């Protein structure tokens, strides 16, 4: 018999068949289950029909056989031996409630094509032909989807499913970008669902259903996030399984780094304090503006200067990064950091560097240490007009200031970036000429080279540790990704040690800015 004709005959008998099943079962759930089993059996046995006119008799014969087998299977399922350890009936939870919970759980795990068919048929009471129009598939496919859904639901309800740890202890992830183009990813992981999908698939390839169970989020709420993460290639798909395509600095990774690099952090901290104590007199003799600063700002300034020279100017310039290209053609690195996944307990010293220059080549250099919990030294330096005014004050060239310039300078005074006294305006930071800056470099030359060597060892150690914490397909990125921890490992960690030793004291708003200095290009 032709498939098209069989579809027509099955459609004609479907309503009567459901009535037949309803009369022989205790609830609608079982009736529909039995009806689908009968329809499947009809399709599977259709090759045995020799005479088209015998089709109806054949179908009802199949229905009777399936029903008898169904009764036998149900009897086996319900049969159980009463033993002494059977729970008391009064303590047994309501069976209907239990079944309903299981059903709800499995409905949330149905993939989209099955879920839509189930909702349209059972919730919206659509006919197979109406569902066919809605889903743009044939009626036979609708029947298959419904049957398969019933099968999946039944199998799932009989299966023990355990929710993963992330369902009750969700992870938090920050997405980091370093590249030569615009950052298209900044909002991509704002959702905790996206963050936990990336964690769930980091070490294992998981299906959508497995991800759903691991993070405790129903599949309908995940599907758009899965699609989006795949579109931006943070996730990749292998068959029906997903895997994370970016490196994540996890807490476990960071804890191991801290344990295995603490000696190197201490070594850098010791090199700094020894060199600064040895050369303090030599440094102050240079005669730069601010050479008479107090002990605490002097310590901050010299630590910042030496670390910048060692880590950035010496070591960083030796590192050659090979930038991968993302799907948009941008040369960039993209990675995730588990919250607390920089330097456990020391993240308040998250380190970065920056500088800003004017057209004359003068520049203000500052470090991104959030000293005492606040960023105290770079508030204005992201605006060129503020940079120009600050550097003009450093040079003592303020006679051309407009009213707006004077207003901004007055605000700098209120914020502590500029000082006003009987001598006029001056910046609240050391000021070096280019020649004085070179003298300072010569004084700390040997120490800077030693610290750069220790920082290089840190990078090597972190690279090897990272290889053991990332999936095989990402191991090629380990060395480059270790570079992005360089400031944390070689600068922030030693600073944290010096802070704990009380060598570096919290900035209280008095005295010179702790990590900001000016270098004038010409006298």
Instruction: Tell me: do 310 and 450 sit in the same domain.
Output: yes
Structural tokens at position 23: 């009369």
Cα distance between residue 301 and residue 308, in whole Å = 11
pLDDT of residue 87: 41
Give the domain CATH number at 226: 1.10.10.10
pLDDT of residue 157: 66
Instruction: Tell me: do 115 and 35 sit in the same domain.
Output: yes
Range of lowest pLDDT (70-74, 210-214, 460-464): 70-74
DSSP E strand stretches across 276-382: 332-338, 353-357, 363-367
Q: Give the residue from 119, 140, 157 where a domain finishes.
A: 157
Structural tokens at position 395: 């040079």
pLDDT of residue 78: 46
Q: Is residue 483 part of a domain?
A: yes
C-alpha dihedral sign at 49, 54, 56, 60:
negative
pLDDT of residue 187: 82
Instruction: Tell me: do 306 and 358 sit in the same domain.
Output: yes
- Helix, strand, coil percentages for the chain (3-state, nearest 5): 60, 10, 30
pLDDT of residue 423: 81
pLDDT of residue 426: 94
pLDDT digits (tens, 9 = 90+) for 432-446: 999 999 999 999 999
Range of lowest pLDDT (25-39, 279-293, 463-477): 25-39
pLDDT of residue 404: 92
Query: Residue 96: pLDDT above 60?
Result: no
Instruction: With cut-offs at 50, 70 and 90, classify the pLDDT of residue 83.
Output: very low
Structural tokens at position 89: 């009936």
Instruction: Tell me: do 183 and 234 sit in the same domain.
Output: yes
Question: What residues make up the domain containing 25?
Answer: 3-77+92-157
pLDDT of residue 26: 63
Instruction: Tell me: do 414 and 499 sit in the same domain.
Output: yes
CB 434 within 8 A of CB 520: yes
Rounded (10°) angle between helices 208-215 and 95-109: 120
Query: Residue 110: pLDDT above 90?
Result: no
Cα distance between residue 449 and residue 310, in whole Å = 6
Instruction: Tell me: do 96 and 186 sit in the same domain.
Output: no
Cα distance between residue 3 and residue 266, in whole Å = 78
With 0-12 / 13-18 / 19 or more C-beta atoms within 10 angstroms meaning exposed / middle / buried, residue 218 is middle
Instruction: With cut-offs at 50, 70 and 90, classify the pLDDT of residue 90.
Output: very low
Instruction: Tell me: do 152 and 100 sit in the same domain.
Output: yes
Q: Is residue 346 part of a domain?
A: yes
Instruction: With cut-offs at 50, 70 and 90, classify the pLDDT of residue 92.
Output: very low
Q: Is residue 286 part of a domain?
A: yes
pLDDT digits (tens, 9 = 90+) for 314-362: 998 888 888 888 988 999 889 999 886 555 444 455 555 678 899 999 9
Average pLDDT over residues 229-243: 94
CB 41 within 8 A of CB 74: no
Most confident of 213-227, 240-254, 336-350: 240-254
What values do phi and psi take at 433, rounded to 5?
A: -80, 170
What values do phi and psi take at 288, rounded to 5?
A: -70, 160
Q: Is residue 15 part of a domain?
A: yes
**Residue 268: closest CA among 441, 516, 463, 492:** 492
HEC string of 227-290? HHHHHCCCEEEECCEEEECCEEECHHHHHHHHHHHHHHHHHHHHHHHHHHHHHHHHHHHCCCEC
Q: Does residue 193 sit in helix, strand or coil?
A: helix
Contacts of 83 (CB under 8 A, 6+ apart): none
Average pLDDT over residues 162-174: 75
Which region, left, alpha or beta, applies to residue 470 given φ > 0 means left and ψ of -120 to 50 means alpha? Answer: beta
Average pLDDT over residues 358-370: 81
Cα distance between residue 334 and residue 330, in whole Å = 11
Instruction: Tell me: do 107 and 187 sit in the same domain.
Output: no
Instruction: With cut-offs at 50, 70 and 90, classify the pLDDT of residue 260.
Output: very high
pLDDT of residue 158: 66
Contacts of 63 (CB under 8 A, 6+ apart): 17, 20, 38
Query: ∠348-354-355 over CA atoms, to 5°?
Result: 145
Instruction: With cut-offs at 50, 70 and 90, classify the pLDDT of residue 84.
Output: very low
What is the number of domains present in the chain? 3
pLDDT of residue 11: 76
Cα distance between residue 9 and residue 5, in whole Å = 6
pLDDT of residue 350: 53
Query: Residue 188: pLDDT above 50?
Result: yes
Q: Give the residue from 125, 157, 189 where a domain finishes.
A: 157
pLDDT digits (tens, 9 = 90+) for 401-455: 999 999 999 988 988 889 998 889 999 999 999 999 999 999 999 999 999 999 9
Instruction: With cut-offs at 50, 70 and 90, classify the pLDDT of residue 117.
Output: confident
Contacts of 287 (CB under 8 A, 6+ apart): 436
Diameter of the chain measured on Cα atoms: 114
pLDDT of residue 197: 93
Instruction: Tell me: do 98 and 207 sit in the same domain.
Output: no
Q: Which helix (H) or strand (E) holds 136?
A: none
Q: What is the pTM of this model?
A: 0.65
pLDDT of residue 80: 40
Q: What is the DSSP letter of 158?
A: T
Instruction: Tell me: do 152 and 292 sit in the same domain.
Output: no
Cα distance between residue 293 and residue 107, in whole Å = 70
Q: Is residue 414 part of a domain?
A: yes
pLDDT of residue 70: 77
Q: Give the residue from 245, 278, 308 where a domain finishes.
A: 245
Q: What is the DSSP letter of 86?
A: P
Instruction: With cut-offs at 50, 70 and 90, classify the pLDDT of residue 97.
Output: low
Q: Is residue 464 part of a domain?
A: yes
Structural tokens at position 311: 């880590």
Return the higher-pLDDT residue of 502 and 35.
Answer: 502
Q: Is residue 256 part of a domain?
A: no
What is the secondary structure of 93-128 as a DSSP string?
Answer: PPHHHHHHHHHHHHHHHS-HHHHHHHIIIIIS---H
Cα distance between residue 492 and residue 506, in whole Å = 15
Residue listed under structure tokens 């070594």: 267
Instruction: Tell me: do 138 and 187 sit in the same domain.
Output: no
DSSP E strand stretches across 340-448: 353-357, 363-367, 418-421, 424-427, 431-433
pLDDT of residue 389: 94
Query: Residue 375: pLDDT above 70?
Result: no
For the chain, the residue count is 523
Q: Is residue 117 part of a domain?
A: yes
Average pLDDT over residues 45-52: 72
Mean pLDDT of the chain: 82
Average pLDDT over residues 263-282: 96
Instruction: Tell me: do 193 and 133 sit in the same domain.
Output: no
Query: Residue 75: pLDDT above 50?
Result: yes
Distance, CA of 296 to chain centre = 38
Average pLDDT over residues 366-383: 59
């Amino acid at each position: 018999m032709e498939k098209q004709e069989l579809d027509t005959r099955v459609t004609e008998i479907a309503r009567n068949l459901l009535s037949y099943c309803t009369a022989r079962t205790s609830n609608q759930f079982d009736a529909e289950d039995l009806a689908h089993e009968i329809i499947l059996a009809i399709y599977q046995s259709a090759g045995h029909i020799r005479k088209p006119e015998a089709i109806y008799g054949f179908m009802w014969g199949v229905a009777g056989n399936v029903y008898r087998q169904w009764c036998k299977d149900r009897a086996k399922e319900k049969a159980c031996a009463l033993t002494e350890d059977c729970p008391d009936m009064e303590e047994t939870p309501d069976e209907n409630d239990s079944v309903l919970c299981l059903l709800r759980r499995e409905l949330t795990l149905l993939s989209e094509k099955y879920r839509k068919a189930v909702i349209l048929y059972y919730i919206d009471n659509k006919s197979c032909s109406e569902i066919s129009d809605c889903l743009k598939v044939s009626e036979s496919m609708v029947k298959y989807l419904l049957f398969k859904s019933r099968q999946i639901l039944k199998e799932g309800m009989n299966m023990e499913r355990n929710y993963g740890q992330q369902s009750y202890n969700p992870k938090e992830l920050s997405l980091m970008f370093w590249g030569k183009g615009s950052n298209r990813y900044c909002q991509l992981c704002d959702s905790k669902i996206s963050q936990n999908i990336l964690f769930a698939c980091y070490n294992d390839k998981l299906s959508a259903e497995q991800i759903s169970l691991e993070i405790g989020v129903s599949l309908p709420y995940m599907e758009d996030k899965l699609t989006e993460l795949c579109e931006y290639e943070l996730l990749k798909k292998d068959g029906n399984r997903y895997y994370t395509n970016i490196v994540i600095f996890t807490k476990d990774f960071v804890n191991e780094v801290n344990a295995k690099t603490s000696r190197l952090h201490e070594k850098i901290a010791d090199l700094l304090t020894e060199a600064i104590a040895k050369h303090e007199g030599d440094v102050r003799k240079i005669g730069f503006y601010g050479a008479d600063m107090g002990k605490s700002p002097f310590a901050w300034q010299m630590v910042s200067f030496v670390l910048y020279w060692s880590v950035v100017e010496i070591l960083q310039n030796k590192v050659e990064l090979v930038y991968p290209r993302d799907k948009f053609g941008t040369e960039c690195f993209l990675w995730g950091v588990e919250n607390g996944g920089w330097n456990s307990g020391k993240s308040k010293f998250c380190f970065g560097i920056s500088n800003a220059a004017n057209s004359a080549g003068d520049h203000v250099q500052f470090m991104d240490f959030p000293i005492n919990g606040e960023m105290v030294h770079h508030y204005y330096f992201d605006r060129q007009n503020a940079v120009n005014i600050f550097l003009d004050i450093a040079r003592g060239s303020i006679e051309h200031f407009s009213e707006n310039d004077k207003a901004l300078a007055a605000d700098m005074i209120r914020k502590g970036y500029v000082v006003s006294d009987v001598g006029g305006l001056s910046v609240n930071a050391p000021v070096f000429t280019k020649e004085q800056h070179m003298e300072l470099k010569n004084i700390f030359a040997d120490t800077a080279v030693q610290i750069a060597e220790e920082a290089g060892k840190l990078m090597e150690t972190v690279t090897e540790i990272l290889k053991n914490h990332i999936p095989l397909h990402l191991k090629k990125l380990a060395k480059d990704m270790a570079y992005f921890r360089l400031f944390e490992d070689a600068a922030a960690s030693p600073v944290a040690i010096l802070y704990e030793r009380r060598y570096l004291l919290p900035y209280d708003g008095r005295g010179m800015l702790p990590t900001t200095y000016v270098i004038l290009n010409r006298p």
